[in-house]
Amino acid sequence: MKGYVQVYTGNGKGKTTASLGLALRAAGAGLKVFIVQFMKQGMYSEIKALKKFDNIVVEQYGAGQFVKEKPSDAERASCRQGYERLCRIIESGDHDLVIAEEANIACFCGLLSEEDLLHLIAIKPEHIELVITGRYAPASVMDKADLVTEMTQIKHYYQQGVEARVGIEK
């Protein structure tokens, strides 16, 4: 089966949810899934659920802190390690679906470059489905993708002070 490049971006909720829904669908079909989460560290609800699948691997590459302005050296090192791991996974061709979660925002924050993201697309074997998520996808990455979905926020309960809820947002 031919694999394509998908990008989920935009300021609306649902980018991670969409990619994890695709991972669930792929796992149910017996496909092998590999997910790299950039800028994240912790036992989120989705991590607990995905650990129940033998054919889904999730690795987190974040320093466990929110990146506001200038990323820490620890965040930079973790992101670079995750990127190098992701390149090896893609080049191996051992997985059917590979998800680079929050790679776009990692690029926006200066942890990855546009060239890094374009390199992921360039090295992708034909059979791998590659998904790149996160706000602020570079135009060059969207141009190279086969499918681009932009999540647009119309209204969000965060604006009324609702914090992230376990099982819904985290």
pLDDT at site 68: 64
Residues 141 and 114 sit within 8 Å (Cβ to Cβ): yes
Q: pLDDT tens across 94-129, in order?
A: 999 999 999 999 999 999 999 999 999 999 999 999
Residues 10 and 135 sit within 8 Å (Cβ to Cβ): yes
78 compared with 44, residue with greater pLDDT: 78
- The Cβ of residue 129 has, within 10 Å, a number of other Cβ atoms equal to 22
Nearest to 61 by CA among 116, 121, 3, 138: 116
pLDDT at site 42: 82
Q: How many CA atoms lie within 13 A of 33 on its CB side?
A: 27
**Is the model's pLDDT at 30 over the cut of 90?**
yes
**Tokens 């546009």, residue?**
114
Please report, for residues 9, 161, 164, 168, the alpha-carbon distance to residue 157 in angstroms, rounded to integers and kept in the order given.
20, 7, 10, 12
pLDDT at site 65: 65
168 compared with 35, residue with greater pLDDT: 35
Q: Whole-angstrom Cα distance, residue 123 to residue 83?
A: 13
Q: Which helix (H) or strand (E) covers residue 108, if one does? A: helix 103-108
pLDDT at site 101: 97
For residues 67-91, give the mean pLDDT. Answer: 90
Show the domains of the chain with their CATH numbers.
Answer: 21-124+137-147+156-160 (3.40.50.300)
